[in-house]
Amino acid sequence: MNRILVWTAAATLAALSMFAPPARAAEVRGAGSTFAYPIIWKWAEAFRERTGHIVGYQSVGSSAGVNRIKDGVVDFGASDKPLKPEELEKYGLGQFPIVFGGVVPVFNVDGVGPGQLRFTGALLADIYLGKVTTWSDPAIRALNPDVKLPNAKIVVVHRSDGSGTTFNWVSYLAKASPEWKQQVGEGSAVAWPVGYGARGNEGVSTEVKRVPNAIGYVEYTYVVQVKLAYGLVQNRAGKFIAPSAAAFQAAALSFDWAGAKDFFVVITDSPAEDAYPIAATTFALMYREPKVPANSQAAFEFWRFALGEGEKFASELGYVPLPPALVQQVKDYWARTFKGGA
């Protein structure tokens, strides 16, 4: 009789457990960089499969992502433009790098393929200033004497939204062209002298692919995914460099991350000999005192996954993972900066 009772109790508990609600999965909300959208999406997919936690990410552009974390409507923002330490302090935020990549000039010129055009920073600035207006311009021909170029008007495409991709693009143009620096300057959004805008890296990619004789700029992963023709860009050492993970890494490693407060580093125009000159970093922004502690805890679990096992996905997509020493610096920063970040 006792055996029957024990079995019955065990069976009852097992049956009840079948109907018990599962532990609640966290739903982390993020928004920002279109530059990093492909890798954040991939990380989120793999993280959900591993943990059940959902990381929802809106690819709305760096400026919108910064605004949403400032307004407290997301658990993290992602921006390719770092915030200055005083601005982080004002809003109670911290920031840290999550991945490196590059901003690439892309074009749609009949008969000209990937890597077949060379650009200097000064030439790109003159195109976007409206000083060089045709593909047959002597300034382009001088750099590309063996390329057959049409006598066609250049259709300039730029971002219409506030963008970290734009920030890094114009940061480089300002360093390469005093005229650009004086007339247009830098920022996530600028007063473009010529051209028309498209939203996000996705929008610029689509327009360049669609419009004959167009030129634009996008994050390198979009070059690969959309199969766009890209140009080589001359770096500070005088070399014309193709976009690649190795060239982005050379740029990233040439800067002093350990000595930068809140990781405020811009990696365009690196002095390294083999560096791609328009390299860029995506930064995550989070509250030092979390608005929703459970979501913040899940977000840090997500970032630990992303900067650990998730690095392989970054490499597969053409990004550059953070080197181990920088990953450790980031984790040390979490411990001293964020409540619950240790």
CA-CA distances (angstroms) from residue 4 to 10, 11, 15, 16? 10, 10, 16, 18
* pLDDT at residue 141 in the model: 98
> Predicted confidence band at 7 (pLDDT cuts at 50, 70, 90)?
very low
- pLDDT top residue among 56 and 8: 56
* pLDDT at residue 342 in the model: 65
* pLDDT at residue 66 in the model: 97
pLDDT at 16 > cutoff 90: no
pLDDT at 20 > cutoff 80: no
* pLDDT at residue 24 in the model: 64
> Predicted confidence band at 73 (pLDDT cuts at 50, 70, 90)?
very high
Question: pTM, whole model, 2 decimals?
Answer: 0.89
Q: In this predicted model, what pLDDT tens digit does every residue of 242-286 receive, in sequence order?
A: 999 999 999 999 999 999 999 999 999 999 999 999 999 999 999
Percentage of the chain with pLDDT > 90? 90
Domains of the chain: 27-100+280-337 (3.40.190.10), 103-256 (3.40.190.10)
Percentage of the chain with pLDDT > 70? 93
Rounded (5°) CA angle 103-107-113: 105
* pLDDT at residue 5 in the model: 34
pLDDT at 14 > cutoff 80: no
Q: What is the mean pLDDT of residues 52-81?
A: 96
* pLDDT at residue 25 in the model: 73
* pLDDT at residue 6 in the model: 34
HEC sequence for the chain: CHHHHHHHHHHHHHHHHHHCCCCCCCEEEEEECCCCHHHHHHHHHHHHHHHCCEEEEEECCHHHHHHHHHCCCCCEEEECCCCCHHHHHHHCEEEEEEEEEEEEEEECCCCCCCCCEEECHHHHHHHHHCCCCECCCHHHHHHCCCCCCCCCECEEEEECCCCHHHHHHHHHHHHHCHHHHHHCCCCCCCCCCCCEEECHHHHHHHHHHHCCCEEEEEEHHHHHHHCCEEEEEECCCCCEECCCHHHHHHHHCCCCCCCCHHHCCCCECCCCCCCCCEEEEEEEEEECCCCCHHHHHHHHHHHHHHCCCCHHHHHHCCCECCCHHHHHHHHHHHHHHCCCCC
3-state secondary structure of 217: strand
3-state secondary structure of 133: coil
